[in-house]
Amino acid sequence: MFYYIIDILGTIAFAISGVLVAMEKKLDVFGVLIIAFVTAVGGGTLRDLLIGIRPVGWLNAPIHILVIVLTVILAILFVKQLKYVRKSLFLFDTIGIGLYTMAGVEKGIAADLSPVMCIALGTITACFGGVIRDILCNEIPVIFRKEIYATVCILGGLVYFLLIQFPVISNTIAHSLAILTIIVMRILAVKFKISLPNIYREI
Amino acid sequence: MFYYIIDILGTIAFAISGVLVAMEKKLDVFGVLIIAFVTAVGGGTLRDLLIGIRPVGWLNAPIHILVIVLTVILAILFVKQLKYVRKSLFLFDTIGIGLYTMAGVEKGIAADLSPVMCIALGTITACFGGVIRDILCNEIPVIFRKEIYATVCILGGLVYFLLIQFPVISNTIAHSLAILTIIVMRILAVKFKISLPNIYREI
Amino acid sequence: MFYYIIDILGTIAFAISGVLVAMEKKLDVFGVLIIAFVTAVGGGTLRDLLIGIRPVGWLNAPIHILVIVLTVILAILFVKQLKYVRKSLFLFDTIGIGLYTMAGVEKGIAADLSPVMCIALGTITACFGGVIRDILCNEIPVIFRKEIYATVCILGGLVYFLLIQFPVISNTIAHSLAILTIIVMRILAVKFKISLPNIYREI
């Protein structure tokens, strides 16, 4: 139940990030809705396609569509007020990334894939909604230019696979600690403006 | 047989719309062919991937490839004459959208999905060939900026699911009326320049 | 074993072409890695999705991920030296295209698809990694503007299906001759600057 609520909050945060990018591009209502939708479910969809889960998850999860539609309507109506909840949005988004990453890792394990592939799938789940959003809006994906976003997903996945090597640590605890790692690292990275050293310099 | 001919006409119209966009971008012959192809089969391909139909439809439908290749050759040879058939093209395209939408709805029903998801799949079938075309040509998809295109697909799907609630209406009739709704609404929307109110204004 | 080594060399060449495009776009380390990855495995992934092979190939081939990661690290470290191996890179890339094309054709045959579809899948395998690379980097795919790249794949596929009509020619020989055809034609096309006649002229 607790996870379920957080999952919905993550979906909302992802959908709002889609709304904001789409409105910047002056898309119409339908365009804004589609961009919000792909931002929220795109990563999981790509993961399901790659693993071969069919149909892809959201086709059997009407609750997500409902949440996304409501989010888009409210976000368009109250777009000016969105800046007042910027901090909450960042928190939801960060929690969403943590949950999405571990959801992807779990699906990979369920499909008998190796840890490296599970981590790749977790990162895809968390990050590729944003990649598809940016491609549809004709931008180079932002996560290819601010790498810390994807890096924390990879590190979170590593933490999980390290922890489950210890028999004393239950799966639930390893799972929760991995999510916590992602959340804490992302908050720290943003707070202290940590990023990998840039190899070029734009003029 | 009747549906079959209309399906081919819709494919031709979609392929030609691909040729026109690709030629505007000065792509070479191979590029024009690929863009025409994805415009015509892209929506159905994405639908099949999401549902999990395998292999995707066109891999077992050589007739579509043949029609698309011939269309591309003729469209390149007679590109100057295309403007004289502009009205027929619009009609084929509109009929194509109607048919593609209901084809997507049907595949959704066959996969036991809920009405909302069937309508989503119908809209994807009709619209996402154009979305992939625009992405490959490095444009923000035109349907995200002129929403009436997708909106009529959604309304057509709703009409279908409303009609089949009445036991006196056979499936075939509901099906045909839904397609007719899409065609009539699109023609009216274009004739009277109806579009959803724009929430921004470009300067 | 011989094929295996060449496959790895092809993967390296494809990954490096991804690194070069990504660095031109000033992507960060993570972005460069992802672009290298999709360039190398994107075509095969799309092919597997279209046919319905699940999970897609690379999820069970950690060696490819390892090779790509090492290639990216070395390519970033020695980016200035890459120009000295330009000729070798072109050769690897050309051999890679030949192998990828025939690998795609084979998967199509294994899925009982018609020759036309097998050739289409072979061309997708060889070319669409580059297409996805260019889309992610916000460019119109280069192969839609320099068609000879895809054309040699199609011709190679045709050669294969022509040769296996003759009972005296074994499958292995037809396979090898098709790969050779692709390699020789591409080298000749680049050497003599052959390309299909352009139908437009940019000002």
pLDDT in tens, B4-57: 777 788 889 899 989 988 988 889 888 999 999 999 999 999 999 999 998 998
Comparison of pLDDT for B165 and C197, the residue scoring more: B165
What string of DSSP letters covers A149-168?
A: HHHHHHHHHHHHHHHTTSTT
* The pLDDT value given to residue C110: 94
pLDDT at A71 over 50: yes
A61 chain-B contacts, CB cut-off 8 A: none
- Which residue ranges make up each domain of chain C? 2-191
C55 preceded by a cis bond (ω within 30 of 0): yes
What string of DSSP letters covers B57-116?
A: GGGG-HHHHHHHHHHHHHHHHTGGGGGGGHHHHHHHHHHHHHHHHHHHHHHHHHTT--HH
* The pLDDT value given to residue B55: 93
pLDDT in tens, B55-64: 998 999 888 8
* The pLDDT value given to residue B121: 96
Percent of chain A with pLDDT over 90: 61
Chain B: closest CA distance from residue C101 (Å):
17
Interface test with B, best of C53, C114, C136, C140 (most B CBs within 10 A): C140
Three-class SS state of C201:
coil
Percent of chain B with pLDDT over 70: 94
Interface ipTM > 0.85: yes
pLDDT in tens, A89-139: 888 888 889 999 999 999 999 999 999 999 999 999 999 999 999 999 999
pLDDT at C4 over 60: yes
Comparison of pLDDT for A157 and B93, the residue scoring more: A157
- Max Cα–Cα distance, chain B, nearest Å: 54
Question: Which residue of B50, B114, B147 is in closest CB contact with A56?
Answer: B50
* The pLDDT value given to residue B122: 96
b/e map A74-104, b = 16+ CB within 10 Å = bbbeeeeeeeeeeeebeebbbbbbbbbbbbb
Percent of chain B with pLDDT over 90: 61
User: Is the four-CA dihedral B62, B65, B67, B70 of positive or negative sign?
Assistant: negative
B126 chain-A contacts, CB cut-off 8 A: none
Q: Is C81 exposed, middle or buried (0-12, 13-18, 19+ CB in 10 A)?
A: exposed
Instruction: Choose the weakest-confidence range: A186-195, B134-143, C50-59.
Output: A186-195
Instruction: Choose the weakest-confidence range: B77-81, B121-125, C122-126.
Output: B77-81
Interface test with C, best of B30, B32, B49, B79 (most C CBs within 10 A): B30
Question: Which residue of A28, A34, A137 is in closest CB contact with B198?
Answer: A28
pLDDT in tens, A28-40: 888 999 999 999 9
Under 8 Å between Cβ of B125 and B103: yes
Chain B: closest CA distance from residue A1 (Å):
24
* The pLDDT value given to residue C2: 66
* Cα gap C26→C23, rounded to integer Å: 5
Chain C: closest CA distance from residue B186 (Å):
31
A199 chain-C contacts, CB cut-off 8 A: 23, 28-29, 76
* The pLDDT value given to residue B79: 84
* The pLDDT value given to residue A203: 34
* The pLDDT value given to residue C196: 67
Under 8 Å between Cβ of A20 and A137: no
Q: Is C141 on the interface with A (CB under 8 A)?
A: no
pLDDT in tens, C159-181: 999 999 999 999 989 999 999 99
* The pLDDT value given to residue C48: 96
For chain C, give the mean pLDDT.
89
Rounded to whole angstroms, what are the CA distances from C135 to A22, C82, C138?
A: 18, 24, 5
* DSSP code at position A145: T
Instruction: Choose the weakest-confidence range: C7-11, C26-30, C174-178, C196-200.
Output: C196-200
Q: pLDDT tier at C52 (50, 70, 90 boundaries)?
A: very high
Per the CB < 8 Å rule, is C30 touching A147? yes
Task: Compute the average pLDDT of residues C40-47.
Answer: 95
* Cα gap B89→A189, rounded to integer Å: 54
pLDDT at A202 over 80: no
* The pLDDT value given to residue B203: 34
* DSSP code at position A200: S
Q: Give the chain B residue nearest A79 (alpha carbons).
A: B199
pLDDT at A197 over 70: no
Percent of chain C with pLDDT over 70: 93
Q: Which of C169, C72, C160 is nearest to C121 (CA)?
A: C160
Which tokens hold the place of C132? 């996805």
* The pLDDT value given to residue C8: 86
For chain A, give the mean pLDDT.
89
A55 chain-B contacts, CB cut-off 8 A: 50-52, 111, 113
pLDDT at B92 over 80: yes
B140 chain-A contacts, CB cut-off 8 A: 25, 27, 136-138
* The pLDDT value given to residue B201: 45
* The pLDDT value given to residue B145: 82
